[in-house]
Structure 1
Amino acid sequence: MPERLAPGDTAPDFTLTASDGSSVTLSGLRGEHVVLYFYPAAMTPGCTTQACDFRDSLDALNAAGYRVLGVSPDPVAKLARFVERDGLTFPLLSDPDHAVLEAYGAWGEKTMYGRTSVGVVRSTVVVGPDGTVVLAQHNVRAKGHVARLRKDLGVDAA
């Protein structure tokens, strides 16, 4: 199982393709706080709940200086459909070979309904303006996660 990042670690740089076809590079966002949330699959119930919670909290997060990026192993075309279907207003990034998921400790063994499998471990990593990890949360639940994250970051409702 990949090692998980912890506060103070340097966030691994990456370049991934976004749902709109553009390239997003983490180092290109230096100077900003970046919320990277890693989720298993676009358009599934839990992932839809989480994405819509981020969408609905985006104004408050942006006002507090946080940029939100979602990362999954889904192909770009599926991410584009997800953005369109649910009116998502932040980039979703495609990591089909799960290299970034692995680098962030968001890929590994997990147990669901008593069955063990290997895949995306629902996680959120907040990267500070200097490129270091500020907060790392793994094995989070889709429902209620964004509210907890906002509380942990001190971000009030907009």
Structure 2
Amino acid sequence: MSRLVQGKSAPWFKARSFQGDEINPGAYRGRHVLLSFYRYASCPFCNLRVHESIQKNDHFRLLVLEMIAVFQSPDDKLAEYVGKQPLNYPIIGDPDLQLYKLYRVETSWIGLIKAFLIRPHQILRSVFLRGFFPGSIENEIQRLPADFLIDPQGKIEIAYYGKDIGDHIAYETIEKALRNDIIEP
């Protein structure tokens, strides 16, 4: 299964967020969309990233970016773990992995092990400073994250497939892409 690439049309879908909202990324035409795929609802790496995204969301909205997150967990687990944060963007539970397959999100045992070797600071920040303790694990523990920046016309501007379980696209990369689009005529 080959990865999605820049310049191709993003696969659209309809889903319901665990908060109860209908999500149709096609309805975001005219704005950028950051579609982020996470692991399971109690993943410390994932909850730290969501926490950081919540902090950046108002700034990104000024740059005409909407965020959508997908987790491989059912709605009740999302409410129990990641849903404890003051969310300001939709989160979709996809325990059947339909969206993961559509976007070709990968798994890797090496990526699981590698994260614990190269990201001890993230483990400390997520677990001990933020209190994101691991709990139940739904679906593959070795799931890698992926982020897709979709342009206002529905094309993939950036397809970022994580190299380990804590690897997401850098916020600076997102902001640079958004600013370049805003500056260009």
TM-score of the aligned structures, taking structure 1 as reference length: 0.83
Aligned residues: 152
1:126 counterpart SS class: strand
In the TM superposition, residue 152 of structure 1 has moved relative to its aligned partner by 4.0
**Rg comparison, structure with higher value:** 2
* Identical amino acids, percent of aligned pairs: 22
Gaps of 5+ in 1: none
- In the other structure, the counterpart of 1:11 is 10
CA change 1:22–1:7 in 2 (3 A) is: same
Kindly provide the CA deviation profile for residues 89-134 of structure 1, in whole angstroms up to 9, marking residues without a partner as x. Answer: 11101122112112212134442227xx785321100111111101
- In the other structure, the counterpart of 1:29 is 28
Q: Which has the higher helix share?
A: 2
Letter in 2 for 1:22: D
Gaps of 5+ in 2: 115-139, 180-185
In the TM superposition, residue 82 of structure 1 has moved relative to its aligned partner by 3.6
- In the other structure, the counterpart of 1:133 is 156
2:87 counterpart SS class: coil
**Cα distance in structure 2, aligned partners of 1:144 and 1:106:** 12
In the TM superposition, residue 41 of structure 1 has moved relative to its aligned partner by 1.1
Kindly provide the CA deviation profile for residues 19-44 of structure 1, in whole angstroms up to 9, marking residues without a partner as x. Answer: 21122112122222100010001122
| Aligned-residue RMSD, C-alpha | 2.4
Q: Which has the higher strand share?
A: 1
Alignment of 1:4-153 (within 5 A): 4-111=3-110, 112-113=112-113, 120-139=143-162, 142=166, 145-153=169-177
TM-score of the aligned structures, taking structure 2 as reference length: 0.72
Letter in 2 for 1:40: R
